[in-house]
């Protein structure tokens, strides 16, 4: 069994934000496999299906991003899952727009959703599918990114040009998740972690 969680903020006002890229990728994966996220379990909307002989539970957390761990912990406990049976899809500013990286474990790297999950699970050893948003353009100011700038950036929508890239990467992220389920972690990393470090 695998639990696949897309991170984001609930509500229409956040729907197209950069920070909701995890939701977008999960929705694409659900659509591709005809899985409806029509059940409420704990603090998430969930749907269940089978892929490559493996039972999968898809979940879209209904907490705000910095409390994602509460929703994930409830589901992990409910299904008695180990960390390596959990796949989290999330946005990542440390990756260029449109890049995908798969990894298991590691730090939160400043991502509040991942930080919350590590804290609530007491383990960083789950699998992450990181989807790049890039960072705010600081070429004009030349100063380090402040906390306010970061928040403003992740809670803003993609520009029209960025959206074209996002529209291409979302199906690829869904394919990466399928690869994790059907081919395993090593094979998926070898396939999707090209052109740079994970």
pLDDT one-digit tens code per residue, 150-194: 778 888 899 899 999 999 999 999 999 999 999 999 999 999 997
- Answer yes or no: 19 catalytic: yes
Q: Report domain extents, the chain.
A: 2-192
Cα–Cα distance between 171 and 62 in angstroms, integer?
Answer: 23
Report the percent of the chain where pLDDT is more than 70.
93
- The pLDDT value recorded for residue 140 is 52
pLDDT one-digit tens code per residue, 97-128: 999 999 999 999 889 999 999 999 999 999 99
Name which CATH class applies to 2-192: alpha beta
Cα–Cα distance between 162 and 19 in angstroms, integer?
Answer: 14
Strand-by-strand arrangement of the 39-41 sheet: 39-41, 44-51, 54-61, 2-6, 86-92, 127-132, 100-104
| 197 pLDDT tier (thresholds 50, 70, 90) | very low
Catalytic residue among 19, 33, 90, 111: 19
């Amino acid at each position: 069994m695998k639990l696949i969680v897309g991170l984001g903020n609930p509500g229409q006002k956040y729907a197209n934000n950069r920070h909701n890229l995890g939701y977008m990728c999960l929705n694409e994966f659900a659509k591709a496999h005809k899985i409806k996220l029509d059940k409420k379990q704990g603090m998430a909307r969930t749907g269940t299906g089978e892929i490559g002989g493996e039972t999968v539970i898809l979940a879209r957390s209904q907490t705000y991003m910095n409390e994602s761990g509460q929703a994930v912990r409830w589901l992990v406990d409910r299904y008695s899952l180990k960390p390596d049976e959990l796949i989290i899809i999330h946005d990542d500013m440390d990756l260029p727009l449109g890049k995908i990286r798969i990894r298991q474990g590691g730090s939160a790297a400043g991502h509040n959703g991942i930080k919350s999950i590590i804290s609530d699970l007491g383990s960083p050893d789950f699998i992450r599918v990181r989807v790049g948003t890039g960072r705010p353009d600081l070429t004009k100011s030349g100063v380090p990114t402040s906390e306010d700038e970061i928040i403003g950036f992740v809670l803003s929508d993609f520009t029209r040009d960025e959206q074209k890239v996002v529209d291409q990467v979302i199906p690829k992220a869904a394919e990466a998740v399928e690869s994790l389920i059907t081919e395993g972690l090593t094979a998926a990393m070898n396939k999707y972690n090209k052109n740079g470090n994970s």
